[in-house]
C-alpha cells in the first residue's frame, strides 16, 4: 500500500521542531529517540508500520493546542492517537509526522447523575468510563470488544460500536459534546450535556471524522441506569446461512434484543481452545442477549425460542446464572485474540442489510474457495455489521496482497447489496481507495470541502479516509 513520500525538508528540521515542542510541554512528553518512537509505528493493523518523526504526550487541552499551533506554523503533519487499537490503520504515522497521543489525558472531569452525563478527558479508556459510574448503578453503553484498551478519543473518531449497540446505538447516539482543538490551535466546544444543541449539528460531523478535522480532548457522554436484569442465550445451528436467516427473522418479528452476535465454526473452535467458554460444537452460533425484569426477559426469550425452533437449532441454552453469562461474553470478547493465536488474519468491517445476511455469508464462503484463503466470521449480526477474518500467512510472499484483494471483494459485495464499506472500524488507510466504490465524485467532493474548512493545509492525519490520488492533488493544489 503506497504512502506519501516523507517531506525531507521537515525531517531536516526535526531537532528544531522537537526543541519548539519542548518549549510548551514537560520534557517527558516529547519523544524523539527512535527506540521509543517505534512504540507508535503502527496500530492494530500491524501489517503496516512507519515510525513517526516525534511523538508527544500532552496532559491538557491547552498543551494540545500549543502543539498544534507549532505544527501548523511549521507545516508538520499531525496524527492523533488514542490507544492505537484501530483495525483500519487510522493511527498509522508518516515518517515526517508528529504523533499526538492522548493516553495521559484520562481524567474524569464531571459526573452528573441528575442529568445523566459524564465528562471525561478523551484518553480515558472505554471500559473505565463505565468503571467510574457502575458502583452507583450506571453504565456507558457503547462496548467495543477492545473496550479494555481503546480510548474514548478513538471511539469518537471512528464512531465505534459494539455488541450491545443493537439496542443502545453506537458512539454518535451516546455522545453529547466534545472539546475539539483545530489544527491552528483554536479550541472549540461543540455540543454539551444537553440532548439537543442549537445551530448546525457539528457534533455529527466530528463523530466518525477519523482525526481529519481536529483533536478531540474532552467528551461528554450519556450514561444510562443499569438494566434490572440481562440474560444471554447460545443458539447453535448446523449452517451459517440458517443462522443468518434466524437473525433476519428475529429482527423482522420486531424484537429488539440488546445484542445478536454471530460466530462460525472456525471462530467457535479457536475461541473454545482459548477462552473455554463452553460453546457447543456446531457450524454457527448466535449469542442473543435480552434485558429487563424477569417477566420481560422470559417473554422475550420465549418469542426468540419460537423463532429459533423454526430453524432446527442444534442447541438453545440460556445462561443459568451470572457466571455462565460472563463466560458466554468472555468467549465472544476473546474471539479476535483467539484467532490471532492460531493465524495471521485481517479483520474486515462492513455493513449490510440484515435481510441479505444468508446471501452474503454464502458468497463469502464461495470467495474463500476462489481465493484459496480461509475465513472466519464473528460479528454483530443484529445490525448487519460483518467482521470476516481472512486468514493468511504474513511470511508467505504475495499472501497479504491476496488477502487484501479478497477483502476488497467482500467490501464491494457489502456495497452491492445496499450496505456500506465500514461498520464501526472506519476507513483509515485500509479502505481509502475503495471510497470510490461507495461514493460518486460529487459525494466525495462534499466530504473534501468539509476537510478544507477544518484543516485547510491538510496537515491532520494525512493519507487516510480519502483515496490517495484525491488527497495528493488536494494537498498539492
Ligand atoms: C481486538 C479488537 C477488537 C475490536 N473490536 C471493536 C468493536 O467491537 N467495535 C469497534 O467499533 N471497534 C473495534 N475495534 C477497533 C478499535 O478498537 C476502535 O476503532 C477504537 O475506537 C479505536 O480506539 P483507539 O483509542 O485505540 O484509537 P486509535 O487506534 O489510537 O485511533 C483511531 C482513529 O482515531 C483517531 N484519533 C485518535 N485519537 C484522536 C483524538 N484525540 N482526536 C481525533 N482523532 C483521534 C486516530 O487518528 C485514528 O484515525 C477493535 C480492535 C481490536 C484490536
pLDDT tens per residue, range 325-350: 999 999 998 898 899 988 899 999 99
- Where does the pLDDT of residue 10 fall: very low under 50, low under 70, confident under 90, or very high at 90 and above? confident
Determine, yes or no, domain membership for 262: yes
Answer whether 471 contacts ligand 1 (Cβ < 6 A). Answer: no
Same domain, 169 and 58: no
114 three-state secondary structure: coil
Reply yes or no on whether the pLDDT at 43 is more than 90: yes
Dihedral, 230, 326, 136, 173 alpha carbons, nearest 10: -60
The answer on 158 and 28 residing in a single domain is: no
Residues 125 and 178 in one domain: yes
- pTM (2 decimals)? 0.94
Residue 477 reports pLDDT greater than 70: no
Helices (H) and strands (E) in the chain, counts: 17, 20
Last residue of a domain, one of 388, 416, 444: 416
Q: In sequence order, what are the beta bridge partners of 125?
A: 151
Domain that holds residue 318: 253-416
Residue 96: inside a domain: yes
CATH of the domain at 329: 3.40.462.10
Q: Does residue 401 sit within a domain?
A: yes
Can you tell me the mean pLDDT for 313-317? 96
Name the nearest CA neighbour of 38 among 24, 60, 62, 54.
54
Q: Which residues of 392-411 are buried (b: 16+ CB within 10 A; e: fewer)?
A: beeeeeebbebbbebbbebb
DSSP string across 79-100: EEESSS--SSSTT---TTPEEE
| 145 touches ligand 1 (CB under 6 Å) | yes
Claim to verify: residue 271 and residue 411 sit in the same structural domain: yes
C-alpha cell at 305: 425460542
Cα(160)–Cα(97) distance, rounded to whole angstroms? 25
Residue 19 maps to which CATH number?
3.30.43.10
Partnered with residue 237 across adjacent β-strands are 284
**C-beta 190 within 6 A of ligand 1:** no
**If we measure between CA atoms, which residue out of 362, 466, 367 comes closest to residue 421?**
466
**Same structural domain, 281 and 339:** yes
CB of 122 closer than 6 angstroms to any ligand 1 atom: yes
Residue 306 shares a structural domain with residue 333: yes
Q: Round to whole Å and give the CA distance between 270 and 377.
A: 12
- Please indicate whether residue 159, judged by its CB atom, sits closer than 6 Å to ligand 1: no
Residue 103, SS3 per DSSP: coil
Describe the strand order of the beta sheet including 108-112 as a list of residue ranges: 108-112, 117-121, 215-222, 175-181, 187-191
> How far separated are the first and last CA of the chain, in Å rounded?
23
Range in 148-157, 287-296, 336-345, 451-460 with the lowest mean pLDDT: 336-345
Contact 67, 87 (CB under 8 A): no
Whether 404 and 387 have beta carbons less than 8 Å apart is answered as: no
Looking at the domain assignment, is residue 326 inside a domain?
Answer: yes
Q: Is 259 in the same domain as 396? A: yes
Cell of 394: 504474513
Cα(102) to ligand 1 centroid in Å equals: 12
Cβ contacts of residue 62 below 8 Å, gap of 6+? 187
Among residues 361, 387, 416, which one ends one of the domains?
A: 416
347 C-beta closer than 6 A to ligand 1: no
User: Is 246 inside any structural domain?
Assistant: no
What burial class does residue 82 get, using C-beta atoms within 10 Å of its C-beta: 0-12 exposed, 13-18 middle, 19+ buried?
buried
- Closest residue CA from atom 7 of ligand 1: 144
41 and 132 co-located in one domain: no
Atom of ligand 1 nearest to the CA of 160: 11
Residue 351 lies in a domain: yes
Banded pLDDT at 8 (limits 50, 70, 90): confident
Do 389 and 263 share a structural domain? yes
Query: What pLDDT digit, counting tens, does each position of 383-441 carry?
Result: 899 999 999 999 999 999 999 999 999 999 999 999 999 989 999 999 999 999 999 99
Ligand 1 mutation target, pool 86, 160, 420, most atoms within 8 A of CB: 86
The answer to whether residues 412 and 266 belong to one domain is: yes
194 in a domain, yes or no?
A: yes
384 C-beta closer than 6 A to ligand 1: no
- The predicted pLDDT at position 196 comes to 76
Q: Whose CA is nearest to atom 44 of ligand 1?
A: 211
432 C-beta closer than 6 A to ligand 1: no
- Same domain? For 193 and 270 the reply is no
Number of domains in the chain: 3
Average pLDDT in the 26-43 region? 96
126 ligand 1 Cβ < 6 A: no
- What is the CATH classification number for the domain harbouring 189? 3.30.465.10
Asked if residue 323 and residue 215 are part of one domain, the reply reads: no
Backbone dihedral region for residue 77 (phi beyond 0: left; psi -120 to 50: alpha; all else: beta): beta
- Report if residue 247 sits inside a domain: no
Q: Which residues contact 258 (CB under 8 A, 6 or more apart)?
A: 164, 166, 167, 168, 230, 289, 290, 291
Which of 56, 77, 103 is at the close of a domain? Answer: 103
Amino acid at each position: 500500500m503506497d504512502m506519501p513520500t516523507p517531506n525531507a525538508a521537515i525531517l531536516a528540521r526535526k531537532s528544531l521542531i522537537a526543541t519548539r515542542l519542548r518549549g510548551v510541554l514537560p520534557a517527558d512528553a516529547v519523544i524523539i529517540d527512535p527506540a521509543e518512537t517505534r512504540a507508535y509505528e503502527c496500530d492494530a493493523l500491524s501489517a503496516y508500520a512507519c515510525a513517526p518523526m516525534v511523538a508527544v504526550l500532552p496532559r491538557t487541552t491547552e498543551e494540545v493546542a500549543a502543539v498544534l499551533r507549532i505544527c501548523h506554523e511549521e507545516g508538520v503533519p499531525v496524527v492523533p492517537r488514542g490507544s492505537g487499537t484501530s483495525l483500519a490503520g487510522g493511527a498509522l504515522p508518516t515518517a515526517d509526522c508528529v504523533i499526538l497521543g492522548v493516553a495521559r489525558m484520562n481524567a474524569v472531569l464531571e459526573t452528573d447523575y441528575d442529568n445523566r452525563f459524564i465528562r471525561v478527558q478523551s484518553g480515558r479508556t472505554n471500559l473505565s468510563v463505565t468503571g467510574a459510574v457502575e458502583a452507583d448503578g450506571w453504565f456507558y453503553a457503547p462496548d467495543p470488544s477492545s473496550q479494555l484498551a481503546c480510548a474514548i478519543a478513538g471511539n469518537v473518531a471512528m464512531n465505534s460500536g459494539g455488541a450491545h449497540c443493537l439496542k443502545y446505538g453506537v458512539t454518535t447516539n451516546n455522545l453529547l459534546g466534545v472539546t475539539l482543538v483545530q489544527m491552528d490551535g483554536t479550541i472549540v466546544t461543540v455540543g454539551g450535556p444537553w440532548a439537543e444543541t442549537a445551530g448546525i449539528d457539528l457534533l455529527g460531523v466530528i463523530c466518525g471524522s477519523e482525526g481529519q478535522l481536529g483533536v478531540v480532548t474532552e467528551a461528554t457522554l450519556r450514561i444510562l441506569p443499569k438494566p434490572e436484569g440481562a440474560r444471554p442465550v447460545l443458539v447453535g445451528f448446523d449452517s451459517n446461512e440458517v443462522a443468518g436467516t434466524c437473525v433476519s427473522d428475529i429482527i423482522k418479528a420486531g424484537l429488539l434484543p440488546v445484542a445478536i452476535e454471530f460466530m462460525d465454526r472456525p471462530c467457535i473452535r479457536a475461541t473454545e481452545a482459548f477462552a473455554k467458554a463452553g460453546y457447543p460444537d456446531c457450524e454457527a452460533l448466535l449469542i442473543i442477549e435480552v434485558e429487563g425484569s424477569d417477566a420481560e426477559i422470559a417473554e422475550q426469550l420465549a418469542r426468540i425460542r419460537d423463532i429459533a425452533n423454526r430453524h432446527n437449532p442444534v442447541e438453545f441454552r440460556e445462561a443459568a446464572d451470572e457466571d455462565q453469562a460472563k463466560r458466554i461474553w468472555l468467549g465472544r470478547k476473546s474471539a479476535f485474540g483467539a484467532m490471532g493465536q492460531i493465524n495471521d488474519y485481517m479483520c474486515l468491517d462492513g455493513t449490510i442489510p440484515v435481510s441479505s445476511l444468508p446471501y452474503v455469508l454464502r458468497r463469502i464462503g464461495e470467495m474463500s474457495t476462489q481465493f484459496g484463503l480461509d475465513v472466519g466470521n464473528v460479528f454483530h449480526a443484529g445490525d448487519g455489521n460483518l467482521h470476516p477474518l481472512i486468514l493468511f500467512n504474513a511470511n508467505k510472499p504475495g499472501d497479504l496482497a491476496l488477502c487484501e484483494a479478497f477483502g476488497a471483494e467482500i467490501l464491494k459485495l457489502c456495497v452491492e447489496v445496499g450496505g456500506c464499506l465500514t461498520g464501526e472500524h472506519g476507513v483509515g488507510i485500509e479502505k481509502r481507495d475503495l471510497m470510490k466504490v461507495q461514493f460518486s465524485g460529487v459525494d466525495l467532493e462534499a466530504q473534501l470541502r468539509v476537510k478544507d474548512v477544518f484543516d485547510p493545509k491538510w496537515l491532520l492525519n494525512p493519507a487516510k479516509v480519502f483515496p490517495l490520488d484525491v488527497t495528493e492533488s488536494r494537498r498539492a493544489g
